Amino acid sequence: MSAELPPGGIEVDAALVAPRLDLTVDDFRRLMAEGRIGVLCERGTGSDEGLVRATFYHGDRRARLVLDHDGRLQQTDDAPSPP
Q: What percentage of the chain has pLDDT greater than the value 90? A: 48
Output the pLDDT for position 8: 62
> What is the arithmetic mean of pLDDT over 47-62?
91
Query: Are 13 and 73 spatial neighbours (Cβ–Cβ below 8 Å)?
Result: no
Does residue 6 carry a pLDDT above 70?
Answer: no
**DSSP single-letter state for residue 15:** H
Q: Report which of 65, 50, 74, 75 is spatially closest to residue 15, judged by C-alpha positions.
A: 65
pTM for this model (two decimals): 0.80
CA dist., res. 44 & res. 54, Å (int): 11
pLDDT, tens only, 17-43: 999 999 999 999 999 999 999 999 888
**Straight-line distance from the first to the last Cα atom of the chain, in angstroms, rounded to the nearest whole number:** 31
